[in-house]
C-alpha cells in the first residue's frame, strides 16, 4: 500500500483512506456485518486511515469502528482514526447547527474516546466552522488535548483559506478535509494553494460525488428513505441526467485504459498531488476492492487531459449541497 503524509506535521497514512459514514447514516440502511467485514478487508489491504464523525448515527459509527478494530486483532497504533465533531442532532436524526466551544470540545472528545475504546484520537477536527466561536478558540481547545495526549493531530473540515491561516497560526494543522472530485473542483482556486503554502495536507471526500460518478448510478435508481441523496441537487430531476452524461464520457476514457469509471475518478484525485489522500466511502467489500484498484492505475499526462476533457471543471449540474447546507460552508464563502 503506497503511503502519503498528511501535511508537514501530520501522520503518514495509506494513500487511500476509508470513510465510514455510510455504514451508519445518511445513505439509507446498511448491513452491519458487511460493514465490519469491509473495515477488516480495508485493514487487510493496508488501509491505515479510517474517517468518522461522532454524529454519524449518533455514535453508532464510532462503536462500529471500535468493534471492527477489536475483532481484527490489530494494535491501536496500526490504524489512524480521524474524527469530526461539533454537529448537533436529535433522536429523529435532525440537525441543529454546530457547537465548537472549548467546553464542547472537551465534552465531545470524552464521549468519542469512550465509544472508540481508546485513549487518543489520531486526528480531531470540527466538522464545520461554528460562526459563534472564533476558530482560534476551537483550535486552542484541541491543542490543549494534544498536550494532554488525548489527540495526536489537529485537522479542519470545509473551511476557507482565511480560516485555514488563522487556525494554523494557533497550532499546526495536519490536514483539511474537504470535498474534491472531478465535479467538485472549487478548492483549486484559493484553498488548495493556501494549504500547500502552509504545509497542510488534504483528505478529499466525495471523490465519487456520493456515487454519482462511480459508474454504477442510473437516473431511474430508487433512493431509499433516509438517503440524503434524495434532496441532493446533483441527483435531482433535470440535473442527474446532465451529470450522468459526463459519467458516460468518462466511461469511454476509463474503458480505453481497462479501468472502471470509479477507479479513473479516484486515480484522477490521486494524481493531483502527493499531499492529497482520497477518502472512499465503500460500504461493501466489492466496492472497496474496486476502489483499491485505482492505486494500480497511473494516469499519464494524456490520460489526465482526456479525463478533464470528458468532465470539464465546472461542468456539474447543481450544487453539492442544498442551499441551507451550502450557507454553513466556510469553504464556499
Provide the β-strand partners of residue 205. 179
Integer Cα distance of 147 and 149 in angstroms = 5
Burial class (CB in 10 A: 0-12, 13-18, 19+), 73: exposed
Following CA atoms 182, 7, 43, 204 in sequence, which dihedral angle do they give, to the nearest 10 degrees? -20
The single residue of 56, 124, 180, 205 carrying the catalytic annotation is: 56
Residue 231 and residue 314 in contact, taking contact as beta carbons nearer than 8 Å = no
124 is catalytic: no
Which one-letter DSSP state was computed for residue 183?
T
Separation of alpha carbons 326 and 41, rounded Å? 34
Chain centroid to Cα 23, Å, comes to 13
Cα–Cα distance, 130 to 107 (Å, whole number) = 16
For the chain, first and last CA: distance in Å?
A: 37
Contacts 24+ apart (CB under 8 A), 254-259: 254/215, 256/306, 257/297, 257/299, 257/303, 259/293, 259/294, 259/297
Distances (CA, A) of 203 to 182, 280, 312: 15, 10, 22
In sequence order, what DSSP letters do the residues of 156-177 get, joined into one string?
A: EES--HHHHHHHHHHS-EEEEE
Instruction: Tell me the C-alpha distance between 32 and 264, whole Å.
Output: 29
Distance CA 83, CA 20 (A): 11
Active site residues: 56
Amino acid at each position: 500500500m503506497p503511503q502519503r503524509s498528511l501535511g508537514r506535521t501530520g501522520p503518514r497514512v495509506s494513500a487511500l483512506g476509508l470513510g465510514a459514514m455510510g455504514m451508519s447514516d445518511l445513505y439509507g440502511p446498511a448491513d452491519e456485518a458487511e460493514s465490519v467485514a469491509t473495515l477488516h478487508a480495508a485493514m487487510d489491504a493496508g488501509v491505515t486511515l479510517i474517517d468518522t464523525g461522532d454524529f454519524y448515527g449518533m455514535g453508532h459509527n464510532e462503536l462500529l469502528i471500535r468493534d471492527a478494530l477489536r475483532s481484527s486483532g490489530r494494535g491501536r497504533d496500526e490504524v489512524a482514526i480521524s474524527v469530526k465533531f461539533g454537529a448537533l442532532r436529535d433522536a429523529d436524526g435532525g440537525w441543529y447547527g454546530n457547537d465548537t466551544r472549548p467546553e464542547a470540545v472537551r465534552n465531545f472528545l470524552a464521549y468519542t474516546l469512550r465509544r472508540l475504546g481508546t485513549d487518543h484520537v489520531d486526528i480531531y477536527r470540527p466538522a464545520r466552522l461554528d460562526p459563534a466561536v472564533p476558530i482560534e478558540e476551537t483550535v486552542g481547545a484541541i491543542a490543549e488535548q494534544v498536550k494532554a495526549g488525548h489527540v495526536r493531530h489537529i485537522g479542519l473540515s470545509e473551511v476557507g483559506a482565511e480560516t485555514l491561516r488563522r487556525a494554523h497560526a494557533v497550532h499546526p494543522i495536519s490536514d483539511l478535509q474537504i470535498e474534491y472530485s472531478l465535479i467538485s473542483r472549487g478548492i483549486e482556486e484559493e484553498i488548495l494553494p493556501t494549504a500547500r503554502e502552509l504545509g497542510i495536507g488534504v483528505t478529499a471526500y466525495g471523490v465519487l460525488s456520493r456515487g454519482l460518478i462511480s459508474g454504477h448510478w442510473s437516473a431511474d435508481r430508487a433512493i431509499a428513505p433516509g438517503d440524503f441523496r434524495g434532496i441532493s441537487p446533483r441527483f435531482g430531476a433535470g440535473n442527474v441526467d446532465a451529470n450522468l452524461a459526463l459519467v458516460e464520457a468518462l466511461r469511454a476514457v476509463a474503458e480505453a485504459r481497462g479501468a472502471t469509471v470509479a477507479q479513473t475518478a479516484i486515480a484522477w484525485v490521486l494524481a493531483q498531488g502527493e499531499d492529497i489522500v482520497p477518502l472512499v466511502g465503500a460500504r461493501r467489500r466489492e466496492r472497496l476492492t474496486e476502489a483499491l484498484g485505482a492505486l494500480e492505475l497511473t494516469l499519464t499526462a494524456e490520460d489526465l487531459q482526456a479525463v478533464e476533457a470528458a468532465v470539464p471543471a465546472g461542468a456539474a449540474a447543481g450544487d453539492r449541497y442544498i442551499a441551507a447546507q451550502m450557507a454553513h460552508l466556510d469553504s464556499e464563502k
